[in-house]
Amino acid sequence: MKCPYCGYQESKVVDSRPTDEGERIRRRRECLSCGKRFTTYEVIETTPLMVIKKDNSREPFDRNKLLSGMLRACEKRPVSLNQLEQAIDEIEQSCQNSLVREVSSQKLGEYALAKLREIDQVAYVRFASVYHQFQDIHSFLEELNNILDSNIH
């Protein structure tokens, strides 16, 4: 690791500990030339997850986009940001675990719907109304009846 003060290539690790999230390792290093200390962070290198859009274009997975859509659905609902972030973590983790490097935006929408259905049914219906692009009140009522039927059984 190159020293930010003198540019020397050699340093020793003085202290090492995980960050609060446990996603990174924080390392305190000491330059073997000038003796100054500096901090580095080590992260696991992952292959980026790509999202295949409806028009077949591809873009890197952006958890903030998914969070934004789910937040809109949960507006004025008793759903914490922590619950949504955990749901997105689980969605992202299941995509990473599948070893498939590309996922359709449709599949991500289905995952989000499933998570919202567990968290808050009103938010689920709001998200579903945008996701399914209901054309009329009858298709919307059909979805509501499906929810009611699944809750009864």
Element (H, E) at 37: strand 37-43
Specify the pLDDT at position 152. 63
**The tokens 């890197």 sit on which residue?**
60
Burial class (CB in 10 A: 0-12, 13-18, 19+), 52: middle
Cα gap 33→101, rounded to integer Å: 43
pLDDT digits (tens, 9 = 90+) for 111-150: 999 999 899 988 988 888 777 777 777 777 887 777 777 7
Domains of the chain: which residue ranges? Answer: 11-43, 50-152
Tell me the pTM: 0.63
pLDDT in tens, 42-93: 877 677 889 999 999 999 999 899 999 999 999 999 999 999 999 998 998 8
Distance between alpha carbon 80 and the CA centroid of its chain, in Å?
15
Residue-wise DSSP of 102-144 = EEEHHHHHHHHHHHHHHH-HHHHHHHHHHHTT--SHHHHHHHH
